Amino acid sequence: MGATSYGSSDRPPRGDYARAGQVKADYTCPQDYAAYTAADHDTYRRLYARQSALLPGLACDEFIAALPSLGQSSQIPRFDDINERLHKATGWEVVAVPGLIPEVPFFTLLANRKFPVTDWIRTPAEFDYIVEPDVFHDLFGHVPLLFNPVFADHMQAYGAGGLKAHRLGACEQLSRLYWYTIEFGLMRQASGPNQGLRAYGAGILSSSGELVHAVTSPEPQRIGLDLLRTMRTRYKIDSYQQTYFVIDSFQQLFDMTAPDFTPLYAQLKSLPELAADALLPGDRLIQR
């Protein structure tokens, strides 16, 4: 997981970045599978069981269909086992990292169809909430949709766009798009037997509380995705979101984000930032 997706912190990132000299310039390292304890595997099993039971009626069909591709749910999967299936499906692979990593390595990995997965897991005391992404958040929340060809292509394009944003000094604006789509995005399923508002963002799908809140609560605003609007909107990392942005399909998301963002970054320089709960006259509100 990249540092861009969880904002800045006053404390150093959690995780063993030394890893006995095994960390490379891109921050990838071997998954330390032998270090997982029986309690670690049990935590993963219980998290998986709780989240998977909540998915029907709340998660998008694409995510539910892809989730079995993670493999066994009774213990933390081996990344190599996932990669055998993932590379065949979309050409992606997961790589282990010690925790949050800087923007350029993060974007570079995505641009090369490599998704960085934190390989440590939360403690039992953090079962319901953890600030930084752990192996459960990254695997359960992010990796299933990398088996979806359109979403997988979008993630690679986002990585390439992130490298350009870094050169243009626009990473903060682009990180907001990541936050409100890849982490906390909602989709309006318009066809099939499971029509309605559904989650596809990893931050929602890996959180029992936010999954229910994002899809069913009357409290948050749900607004049709607009790139300028989204990249102007600040976000909070320590509470449920006050605003969610909604897409109609992954193809729509891919098509919207395919053009060069350079003109958008130029426009953003002259526009004020928006609070996380702001509502503008032109916003397209989506009803549950």
Residue 112 phi, psi (nearest 5): -105, 20
CB count within 10 Å of CB 138 equals: 21
Active site residues: 137, 142, 183, 206
DSSP, collapsed to helix, strand or coil, labels residue 279 as coil
Cα separation, 76 vs 41, whole angstroms: 6
Cα separation, 182 vs 168, whole angstroms: 22
Cα separation, 20 vs 27, whole angstroms: 13
Task: Give the angle subtended at the CA of 115 by the CAs of 109 and 118, to the nearest 5°.
Answer: 110
Handedness of CA 161, 64, 123, 21 (dihedral sign): negative
DSSP, collapsed to helix, strand or coil, labels residue 96 as strand
